[in-house]
């Protein structure tokens, strides 16, 4: 018989944060990680389970009142110097059995659940993790995977007495290391429920193995593709291509490390950018070695030696103990069928990601209590207004997000707010307008910024408005700098015999209009001063937001991108962790007891309109890919000063590199109708302001 148990945290010091969780634990034939027997069940008496300890937030962030703008200055380390990040806090949890009333309520809800939410007892949750993983919630009309729903499925499966375990298919991932760490953390937590989690990995790269090795067992087919060769970072440069067609980019990048625009303005990597990218790569590779060596109980040097030998044979992974065994998918499912004691001749009883995502937390007794905490998600590139080419969930549209922020600010039912950010930045003006609204929101209730894969440039602009910032160790953040520019098309016009004449009034009237000639010296000077002014505004607001003086902020700004771990040691981030860490901090700042459940309200939860649904169906029928729409939108919407991080392409990290975007545009011009080609060509010629670099 299933027993519903609650985890209560032990007393803690006021400078430490604790979180609570509730588990529905049922006897299982799978081996519990802390049991001596595979069939061990929990006794009626309380027992302890150790959960991952949240990190301690600096007193500066913890003790400030909600919305406070005055904080004690945090010394900023100079270049090459780093402060120690906050140490983790030890915390134990006691398990107590809930009363029979709660258990009965859960059983009744499962009994009366609608068909699309019903799960047969003894089922295995099968989730296929591959491709792009969005930080936004998805509707049933949206394709792709959603990080919040993946994580929620792990939590629900841990409670659900109908789920015996999880079978994960892990294939090539197109997401950052921040999301991978979040999922990995949930795999580790799920194993503490006593249920099995089995991984299957037909294609093995560094990122896929990093995630898969968290599973209790890991299998691969004998023919699996393996490429454990190490990690790379790369940038692409189009300056030579532009010169050949007669286009000269005029760029103003403020910040020695600001690489946005380099793709169009340079033919090679600058020394500063090379230094920055080498440091980021060291962080990622070092973390990978630390995690894998800890998993296998070996020294980092042994793991690195193994990788440097060139690992391409899956048999070597089995020989070295990196995977459990070599089995095909059907063999793994046959093994799981036996493990869950399914004696009939039918195939393994499974429920997939999509269906299980529709199982409500309320059915499992996981719905929070009376206090509500708002969750505002901001993902993608930042624009100020919605463009005609915008598609649902196409990015952060400032005017829409501001409306949501104001709604939360004016409501008294929300006790705190978690601002979840996954953005490389974008329009500087839009970023500043949202910064202002987030500051006003923080004057009324606690606001905690939680960073996903990336929160850089405009993404960091948003985050720094919150009194507390939480990031993953490998979140890409910082990049405090701006870029602006225009195309000089004189040579191109001469080659195609195109003429453009302008009649103007005012000394600088042609600054943004004249692309048929180079800038005059006085125009170039004004152009640079405008960019410098935008950078100073960004830097000074960052200094004020993070309680630093301008000189301190300057040492960590200059457009430099930091990993979350390095950002924490330099005062740009307060705490390391994922969404659960941000939630624990939000509860603490809202004076909500750590052992009290709360209700998370998704403010930016998608609810597509009928035209959007029909548009999505029509797009699929016409073969118009969303990625194509996204590239066209970028081409037509880039304008003004930008707070944007350049596209940093780590191996198996990004979706489209710069040259692929260029080739995609060439493909569009070749395969679409003549009207589309003409519109794009006219836009390209007429667009005189731009931002260089592909987006993260």
Annotated catalytic residues are 457
Whole-angstrom distance, CA of residue 5 vs CA of residue 424: 41
Map residue 381 onto helix, strand or coil.
coil
Element (H, E) at 293: helix 271-296
How far apart are the C-alpha atoms of 584 and 412, rounded to whole Å?
20
Query: Could you give the CA distance from residue 430 to residue 642 in angstroms, rounded to a whole number?
Result: 9
CA–CA dist 85, 471 (Å, integer): 12
Phi-psi region of 393 (alpha: psi -120 to 50; beta: other; left: phi over 0): left
Pair 657, 485: CB distance under 8 Å: no
Sign of the CA dihedral running 458, 422, 132, 403: negative
Q: Cα–Cα distance between 275 and 560 in angstroms, integer?
A: 10
Q: Could you tell me if residue 425 is left (phi over 0), alpha (psi between -120 and 50 degrees) or otherwise beta?
A: left
| DSSP 8-state symbol, 228 | B
User: Which residues fall within 8 angstroms of residue 682, CB to CB, at 6 or more apart?
Assistant: none
Q: CA 331: distance to chain centroid?
A: 34
Say how far apart CA 257 and CA 431 lie, in whole Å.
20
Helix/strand/coil for 605: coil
| 274 exposure class (CB count in 10 Å sphere: 0-12, 13-18, 19+) | middle
Give the H or E element holding residue 58.
Answer: none
How far from each other are the two terminal CA atoms of the chain, in whole angstroms? 48
DSSP string, 6-44: EEEEPP--TTS----EEEEE---SSPPTT-SSTT----S
Q: Would you put residue 541 in left (φ > 0), alpha (ψ -120 to 50) or beta?
A: alpha
Please check whether residue 433 is in contact with residue 406, taking contact to mean a CB–CB distance below 8 angstroms: no
Residue 394: which residues within 8 A CB-CB, separation 6 or more? 380, 629, 630, 633
Interhelix angle 521-545/428-442, nearest 10 degrees: 20
Specify the pairing of strand 21-25 against strand 3-9: antiparallel
Residue 132: closest CA among 199, 179, 186, 182: 179
Token pair listed for 202:
């037909």
- Reported for 94-97, long-range contacts at CB under 8 A and 24+ positions apart, including other chains, are 94/7, 94/8, 94/9, 94/10, 94/46, 94/48, 95/5, 95/6, 95/7, 95/23, 95/42, 95/46, 95/47, 95/48, 95/49, 96/5, 96/6, 96/8, 96/46, 97/3, 97/4, 97/5, 97/44, 97/46
DSSP string, 475-527: -EEE---EEEEEEE-HHHHHHHT--------STTTTTTT--SSPPPHHHHHHH
Other CB atoms within a 10 A radius of the CB of residue 256 amount to 17
Query: Do residues 583 and 418 make contact, with C-beta atoms less than 8 angstroms apart?
Result: yes
DSSP bridge partners of 42:
none
Q: What are the structure tokens assigned to 499, written together? A: 């003429």
């Amino acid at each position: 018989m299933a027993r519903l148990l609650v985890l209560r945290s032990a007393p803690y010091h006021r400078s430490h944060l604790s979180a609570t969780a509730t588990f529905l634990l049922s006897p299982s034939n799978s081996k519990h990680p802390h049991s001596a027997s595979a069939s061990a069940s929990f006794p009626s008496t309380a027992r302890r389970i150790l959960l991952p300890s949240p990190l301690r937030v600096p007193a500066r962030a913890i003790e400030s009142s909600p919305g406070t703008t005055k904080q004690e200055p945090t010394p900023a380390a100079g270049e090459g110097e780093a402060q120690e990040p906050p140490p983790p806090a030890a915390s134990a949890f006691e398990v107590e059995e809930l009363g029979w009333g709660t258990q009965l309520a859960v059983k009744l809800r499962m009994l009366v659940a609608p068909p699309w939410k019903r799960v047969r007892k003894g089922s295995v949750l099968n989730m296929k993790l591959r491709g792009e993983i969005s930080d936004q919630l998805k509707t049933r009309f949206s394709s792709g995977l959603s990080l919040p729903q993946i994580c929620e499925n792990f939590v629900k499966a841990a409670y659900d007495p109908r789920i015996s375990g999880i079978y994960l298919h892990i294939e090539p991932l197109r997401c950052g290391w921040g999301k991978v760490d979040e999922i990995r953390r949930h795999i580790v937590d799920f194993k503490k429920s006593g249920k099995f989690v089995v991984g299957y990995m037909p294609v093995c790269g560094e990122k896929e193995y990093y995630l898969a090795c968290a599973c209790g067992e890991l299998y691969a087919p004998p023919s699996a593709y393996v490429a454990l060769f190490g990690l790379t970072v790369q940038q692409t440069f189009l300056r030579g291509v532009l010169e050949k067609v007669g286009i000269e980019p005029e760029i103003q990048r403020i910040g020695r490390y600001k690489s946005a625009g380099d793709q169009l303005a340079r033919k090679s990597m600058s020394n500063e950018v090379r230094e920055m990218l080498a440091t980021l790569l060291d962080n990622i590779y070092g973390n990978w070695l630390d995690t894998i060596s800890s998993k296998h109980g070996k020294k980092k040097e042994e793991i690195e030696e193994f990788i440097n030998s060139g690992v391409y044979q899956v048999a070597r992974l089995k020989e070295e103990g990196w995977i459990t065994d070599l089995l095909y998918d059907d063999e793994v499912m046959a093994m799981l069928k036996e493990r869950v004691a399914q004696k009939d001749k039918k195939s393994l009883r499974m429920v997939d990601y999509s269906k299980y995502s529709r199982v409500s937390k309320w059915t499992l007794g996981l719905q929070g209590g009376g206090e509500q905490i708002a969750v505002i998600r901001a993902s993608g590139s930042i624009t100020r207004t919605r463009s005609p080419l915008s598609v649902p969930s196409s990015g952060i549209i400032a005017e829409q997000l501001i409306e949501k922020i104001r709604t939360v600010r004016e409501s008294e039912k929300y006790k705190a707010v978690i601002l979840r950010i996954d953005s490389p930045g974008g329009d500087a003006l839009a970023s500043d307008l949202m910064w202002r609204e987030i500051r006003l929101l923080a004057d009324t209730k606690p606001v905690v910024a939680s960073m996903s894969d990336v929160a850089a440039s405009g993404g960091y602009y948003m985050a720094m408005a919150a009194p507390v910032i939480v990031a993953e160790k490998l979140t890409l953040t910082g990049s405090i700098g701006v870029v602006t520019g225009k195309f000089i098309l004189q040579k191109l016009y001469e080659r195609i015999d195109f003429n453009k004449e302008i009649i103007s009034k005012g000394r600088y009237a042609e600054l943004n209009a004249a692309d048929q000639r180079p800038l005059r010296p006085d125009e170039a000077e004004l152009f640079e001063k405008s960019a410098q002014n935008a950078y100073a505004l960004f830097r000074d607001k960052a200094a004020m937001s993070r309680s630093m003086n301008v000189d301190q902020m300057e040492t960590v700004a200059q457009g430099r991108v930091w990993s979350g771990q390095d950002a924490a040691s330099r005062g740009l981030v307060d705490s390391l962790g994922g969404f659960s860490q941000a939630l624990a901090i939000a509860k603490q700042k809202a004076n909500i007891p750590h052992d009290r459940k709360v209700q998370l309200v998704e403010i930016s939860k998608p609810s597509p309109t009928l035209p959007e649904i029909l548009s999505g169906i029509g797009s699929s029928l016409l073969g118009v890919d969303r990625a194509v729409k996204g590239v066209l939108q970028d081409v037509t919407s880039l304008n003004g000063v930008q707070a944007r991080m350049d596209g940093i392409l780590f191996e198996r990290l990004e979706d489209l590199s710069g040259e692929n975007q260029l080739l995609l545009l060439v493909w569009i011009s070749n395969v679409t109708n003549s009207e589309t080609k003409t519109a794009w060509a006219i836009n390209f010629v007429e667009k005189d302001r731009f931002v260089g670099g592909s987006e993260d």
